[in-house]
Amino acid sequence: MAWAQSDPKAAAHEHYEKGLAAFDDERFQDAADEFEAAYRISPAFAVLYNIGRVNVALGRSVEAVQAFEKYLAQGAAAIPSDRRREVSAELERQRARIGTLTIRTVPASVDVRVDGKLIGKTPLAEPVLVTAGTHTLEALISGYAPQVRELRVEGMARIELEFRLDPVTAPETALKPDKPVTSPALQPAVVPPPPVAPPATPPAPMPVAPSVTVVRVSDGEVTSNPLRPWGYVVAVVGLVGGAAGAVVAVTGVNAANDAKNRAANATAPADSAQYAQAISDFNHAKNQVQLGWTIAGVGGGVLLAGALLVVISPDHKTTAGLNAIVPWVASNSGGIGVSGLW
């Protein structure tokens, strides 16, 4: 194939045809490699459209946006209006699946890798764009312990990260010279005097248990407060309403997530109706979530009002006089204790 190697356009066309065949067979990574090779050899703007489409199929939104933006810029007026509208719509969908990471490190001049790919040294010139999903971030510099983080990024999210690396200290190997050991001077032994027994003290007198006599008087009658049953009713109604609102809100959240996933998967031009329906379902689900949380909030307020009504409405107890008269006597004192309700 010496002729193909001597003619760049022929070699680029060969890679382009192989990329089309791989795309038709859904071998998207092979197709991406072939299209990239064709563009490197002969940078025709039309190849960028295929590079963008194959990156959409691979779920690489950042690479797809970069290819489509270059395609529109290089193709300019040569791109038909219907194709330009198609690419612009696809750009909006793919941009919605991209998150932005602002990365700082202490110290500076740290190598930053995202999913194993070297991004550069800090401070980075601009934020890092990543496709929505889980990514592995690494911060590496000689003399410091590396840091690795797993990060979940949502579409349109803006996240600021800071890596603080700890220096690695080498163990000390040099031993300090020992100080000379000197023997302490001998001191004469001191014999302590024999202990002196304390004078005997008489034992403390045993405490005398108090003599208690309880004289019971009328206990009175308990009158139920008529507001307490209403407080329980209001509290139960609030609890049921709050639970119902929470169920409506959770159902709306699940429906919104489902619609969001369907919108993200609707990439081909033929899926425009599916994308529009998914957006409509997503907006309906958001309204359902707002309604559910409103109901739950009202239910919580009603529950709180019922509980407050129960607390401030105690039962009434009437007494005819004192509950108890308690005389007490000890070894050196005495008295009478009185307790009761008024």
Whether the CB-CB separation of 160 and 102 falls below 8 Å is answered with: yes
Q: In this model, does residue 318 exceed pLDDT 90?
A: no
State the CATH architecture for 2-95: Alpha Horseshoe (1.25)
- Whether the pTM exceeds 0.85: the reply is no
Task: Return the CATH fold of 98-164.
Answer: Immunoglobulin-like (2.60.40)
Domain boundaries, the chain: 2-95, 98-164, 225-314
Residue 3 phi, psi (nearest 5): -70, -40
- Rounded to an integer, what distance in angstroms lies between the CA atom of residue 185 and that of residue 168? 47
**Residue 1 pLDDT class (50, 70, 90 cuts):** very low
Q: Which amino acid is at 265?
A: N
DSSP conformation class of 331 = S
In the predicted structure, residue 197 carries a pLDDT above the cut 60 = no
Give residue for tokens 């990514």.
135
Q: What integer best gives the mean pLDDT of the chain?
A: 80
* Residues 184-199: b if buried by 16+ CB within 10 A, e if exposed: eeeeeeeeeeeeeeee
Structure tokens that stand for 80 in this block: 């038909």
Is residue 296 pLDDT above 90, yes or no? no
Report pLDDT digits (tens) over 25-37.
999 999 999 999 9
From CA 126, how far away is CA 281, in angstroms rounded?
A: 36
Phi then psi for 125, rounded to 5 degrees?
-70, -30
Pairing of strands 334-340, 221-223: unpaired
E-only strand ranges, 158-289: 158-164, 211-212, 215-216, 221-223
- CA 20 vs. chain centroid, Å, equals 42
**CB burial string 115-131: b at 16+ within 10 A, e below:** eeeebeebebeeebbbb
Token digits for 13?
């066309």
pLDDT confidence of residue 73: 97
Question: How sure is the predictor about 19, in pLDDT bands with cuts at 50, 70 and 90?
Answer: very high
pLDDT at 74 over 80: yes
Look-up: residue for tokens 């800071």?
162
pLDDT of 178 above 60: no
How far apart, in Å, are the Cα atoms of 7 and each of 10, 21, 32, 56, 107?
A: 5, 22, 22, 31, 50
Q: Which helix (H) or strand (E) holds 61?
A: helix 61-75
Q: Beta-carbon neighbour count of residue 7 at 10 Å? A: 14
Q: What's the pLDDT band for 283 if we cut at 50, 70, 90?
A: confident
Alpha carbon distance 37, 45 (integer Å): 13
Can you tell me the distance from the alpha carbon of 263 to that of 271, in angstroms, rounded to the nearest whole number? 9
Contact 247, 341 (CB under 8 A): no
- Average of pLDDT values for 198-218? 43
Q: What pLDDT, in 10s, does the model give residues 233-248?
A: 888 898 998 899 899 8
Give the number of other Cβ atoms within 10 Å of residue 271's Cβ: 16
pLDDT bracket for residue 195 (50, 70, 90): low
Compare 87 and 3 and report the one with higher pLDDT.
87
Provide mean pLDDT across the span 59-76: 97
State the pLDDT at residue 205. Answer: 47
Average the pLDDT over each of 59-63, 68-72, 210-214, 327-331 and give the range with the smallest value: 210-214
Question: What is the pLDDT at residue 204?
Answer: 46
